[in-house]
Amino acid sequence: MRLVIVLLGVVFTFSLSTNTVNACSCAGTGSVCQSFGTATAVFVGTVVSARENRFPAGMTLEERRKQADRTGDDWAPRAFKFSVEQTFLGVGGTDIEVFTGSGGGDCGFEFKVGQRYLVYAYQYKERLITTICTRTKPFVKADEDLALLGNLPSAAPGVTILGEVTHPDLKGEALSSNVLITIEGDSERKEIRLDAEGHFRASGLRPGKYKVALVVPETLVASYQPEREFKVADHGCAAIQWDLTDNGRITGQVVNAEGEPVAHIVVGLVRSDRTPKDDYMKVERTDEQGRFTFSAVPRGRYVIAINHDRYPDPTDPTNAYPPSFHPGVMDQAQAQVITVGAGEG
């Protein structure tokens, strides 16, 4: 077998100045203000009927796909009709239908016919949906929500957008000076900085649609969606959290002993005090020219592992190359350690 050699080009861009599972997992329901602010409908009602939201008999697979894309039938197969007793938001009649999943792994809510509920429903495609990850609950357990919702008509008008930004190393002024939050609505725009704890808050905004964006230097990157869009109801809140990491980049090329590029081989970035078996920080496959790029690399010490595939395909032609480490050694103890630190370029 031929030994793989890695030719690395490393780009460091750091500067201190400048979230298949089969079980439902929820990040948290949020406060009453947050849940109300971003809901489409909030009401108290009794379930009067239930039905399975199945595709009609005789519908082709293509017709089912189009309906699922349009309505959300792909994951909300149960529909419950409610007799509405009290409306807080978004219900104009005396009855309403809300969709949810089957329960268990798809986070569906287990409504029971004849029982009363406080429901927070959200628009999803053409449906109003709810799940166990919302503040929807039996009426007998809704005292806290009802007390706050009942006071909304007397509260001062306006909405609040708040949030938090975190970074494992940047704190206080170092974080605040690098992060700008822009809040843009139909008729207003604000720019705000974080406080010393990484929080931001804008109150007294007009209800409506907003785009909230995280603006950071290219040395930093958000782990998820640096720009969010949502609608906030009057008297409600919207909460956002961003986790930042260093935007380090490591680029390289994998070639064989003859200097030919090796395409589609697994390249892993591993912390130097770990092993590929224990932990891959990041994993990529090389392109047709044997090149690879790791981006959003946090500061730390790393080694490059080549062809340490945990689940190798027996038909993969790269199996001809033995697992190795940069710069072409078999023992991780002999691998070159790449130190990524703040301020390196």
Give the span between the Cα atoms of 295 and 282, in whole angstroms: 9
Give the span between the Cα atoms of 288 and 145, in whole angstroms: 57
Whole-number pLDDT of residue 76 = 67
Pair 122, 129: CB distance under 8 Å: yes
Give the span between the Cα atoms of 275 and 310, in whole angstroms: 12
β-strands 159-166, 237-246 pairing: parallel
One of 2.60.40.10, 3.30.1330.10, 3.40.630.30, 3.40.710.10 is the CATH number of 159-246, namely 2.60.40.10
The helix or strand, by DSSP H or E, that contains position 73, with its residue range, turns out to be none
Name 70's Cβ contacts closer than 8 Å, sequence gap at least 6: 125, 126
Whole-number pLDDT of residue 113 = 97
Token readout for 121 is 């429903």
Give the bridge partners for 249, in sequence order. 11
Domain positions in the chain: 40-133, 159-246
Whole-number pLDDT of residue 23 = 60
Token readout for 42 is 């909030």
Bond into 226 cis (ω within 30): no
For the whole prediction, is pTM greater than 0.85? no
pLDDT string in tens for the chain (345-residue length):
344 444 444 443 333 233 333 467 777 778 999 999 999 999 999 999 999 866 555 667 666 566 666 665 566 688 999 999 999 999 999 999 999 988 767 788 999 999 999 999 999 888 899 999 999 999 999 999 999 999 987 888 999 999 999 998 889 999 999 999 999 998 899 999 999 999 999 999 999 999 999 999 988 999 889 999 999 999 999 999 999 988 888 899 999 988 899 999 999 999 999 988 888 779 999 999 999 999 888 888 999 999 998 778 888 999 889 999 999 899 999 999 998 875 444
Give the span between the Cα atoms of 179 and 194, in whole angstroms: 7
Token readout for 80 is 């419950």
Residues 73-101 pLDDT 10s: 566 688 999 999 999 999 999 999 999 98
Give the span between the Cα atoms of 212 and 162, in whole angstroms: 10
Say if residue 257 is exposed, middle or buried (CB neighbours under 10 Å; 0-12, 13-18, 19+): exposed
Region of 61 on the Ramachandran plot (φ > 0 left; ψ -120 to 50 alpha; else beta): alpha
Name 241's Cβ contacts closer than 8 Å, sequence gap at least 6: 163, 164, 165, 166
Whole-number pLDDT of residue 335 = 93
Pair 111, 96: CB distance under 8 Å: no
One of 3.30.70.260, 3.40.50.970, 2.40.50.120, 2.60.40.10 is the CATH number of 40-133, namely 2.40.50.120
Domains 40-133 and 159-246 share a fold: no
Q: Identify the CA nearest to 262 among candidates 190, 322, 202.
A: 322
Pair 159, 37: CB distance under 8 Å: yes
Q: What are phi and psi of 148, to 5 degrees?
A: -75, -40
